Amino acid sequence: MENAIVPHGGRLVNRLLEGEQREAWIRKSKTLKSITVSPRIVSDLELISVGAMSPNEGFMGKDDYESVVESMRLKNGLPWSLPITLPVSIEQSRGLKEGEDVSLSDESGNLIAILHLEEKFSYDKKKEAQEVYRTTDEAHPGVSVVYRQGDALLGGNIRLINRTPDVEFPEHRFDPAQTRKLFKEKGWGRVVAFQTRNPIHRAHEYLQKCALEMVDGLLIHPIVGETKSDDIPAYLRMRCYQVLIENYYPKDRVILSVLPAAMRYAGPREAIFHAIVRKNYGCTHFIVGRDHAGVGNYYGTYDAHKIFDEFKSEEIGITPLFFDHSFYCKKCNGMATTKTCPHPSEFHAHLSGTKVRELLRNKQDLPIEFTRPEVGRILMEAYSD
């Protein structure tokens, strides 16, 4: 067994308050200025605090923010592809002083964290949109978030007081320290992670099993934070993952764990981000498929593969596994990709999202070449409700 992969930046960040220290900050929070933050920021707070976003210990200051937007690196040169920021209105910003502590609460009024405010600054939303999302089109869901958020950013380290109450899928929530421990207990030195915001279809299953031939274990790591309104809800996706693992995967070689992150839909840049986060969870390999974290037609089919060439492999520190578009080929009589199948597309079983929804609404079975029947039944039940 190989040594566990080192977290990004060299150590796993821990910003969780516990015991007497936590109680003291709860008392102190009553005397502090307070900010209500969005569910997306709550997700980021939790990921920062447990080390998933190591080496970040809070929200980025101006130097880190501008460096990440412009060059996909923190100011110290370490690769980091997405800005991690706390936006507020200009009015809110004026009421805060650099050097003070601020309490952060969710939209229900629950105290979540303390921000040690080190910096407040303005920023160029259009520049962030163009650099990070490669477009200034407000129809892009990630750009839309940037345009709608506050015009000032607050930078500083955080301390988490309370984790999100009443979380979904508690039995599948493992922090980076916990996944690392699980991998060690199982004797997994080489672990591949699979990022997903969709039900796993035959194409995804094929990629995972190809990767599983090369490593000791597979971490299926679906995003369960904020996604687009037309994405399939997390509870439904989790049912699909569970039935697949139950029937088609070697259970001793797979872990299903949720990632409570928000989707940014930043395509290539988000592929780098997703890889680094999985490195922090202890994975050594990461599957990068077709149009990773893409949306609409904003990114090229394999731009998420090419972006890894902009870094030295040792800088990222996790091995990307690049897969082309996969499908069932009727001529090959099996799953394949454009790298392995010589036959024209007329032999490839492919269904558009529109066609899938049409079949489900009409209570017609999805082709077995496209998805496992157990998954098809779960989706059909949901669409017929």
Q: Could you tell me the CATH number of the domain that includes residue 280?
A: 3.40.50.620
Q: Please report whether residue 9 resides in a domain.
A: no
Q: Do 243 and 377 sit in the same domain of this protein? A: yes
Overall number of domains in the chain: 2
Task: Check whether residue 57 and residue 155 sit in a common domain.
Answer: yes
160, 185, 210 — which closes off a domain? Answer: 160
Please give the single-letter amino acid code of residue 178.
Q
Is position 137 within any domain?
Answer: yes
Alpha carbon 324 to chain centroid, angstroms: 21
pLDDT in tens, 225-255: 877 766 788 888 999 999 999 999 999 999 9
Average pLDDT over residues 74-101: 98
* pLDDT 10s digits, 342-385: 999 999 988 766 677 788 888 888 899 999 999 999 988 887 76
- Within this chain, do residues 216 and 314 fall inside the same structural domain, yes or no? yes
Q: Which of 137, 160, 183 corresponds to the end of one domain?
A: 160
Mean pLDDT calculated for residue range 76-99: 97
Question: Do residues 222 and 301 both lie within one domain?
Answer: yes
**Is there a single domain that holds both residue 301 and residue 373?**
yes
User: Based on the domain organization, do 148 and 177 belong to the same domain?
Assistant: no
Give alpha helix (H) positions in the chain: 19-29, 39-50, 62-71, 90-94, 125-128, 141-148, 176-186, 202-212, 234-248, 268-280, 303-306, 313-316, 353-361, 373-384
Domain that holds residue 86: 19-160
Is 280 in the active site?
Answer: no
Q: In what order do the strands lie in the sheet with 348-349?
A: 334-337, 326-329, 348-349
Same domain membership, residue 346 and residue 235: yes
Q: Which position among 14, 157, 162, 198 bears the catalytic label?
A: 198
| Structural domain includes residue 106 | yes
The answer on 135 and 53 residing in a single domain is yes
For residues 179 and 253, state if they share a domain.
Answer: yes
pLDDT in tens, 97-142: 999 999 999 999 999 999 999 999 999 999 999 999 999 999 999 9
Predicted confidence band of residue 306 (pLDDT cuts 50, 70, 90): very high
Least confident stretch, 155-169, 175-189, 299-313: 155-169
| Residue 361 bears catalytic tag | no
Catalytic residue chosen out of the listed positions 134, 159, 197, 278: 197
Structure tokens at 264: 């940014």
User: In the listed set 160, 190, 210, which residue is the last one of a domain according to the structure?
Assistant: 160
- The answer to whether residue 14 is domain-embedded is no
**Residue 379 CA from chain centroid, whole number:** 23
Nearest Cα to Cα of residue 156 among 73, 84, 53: 84
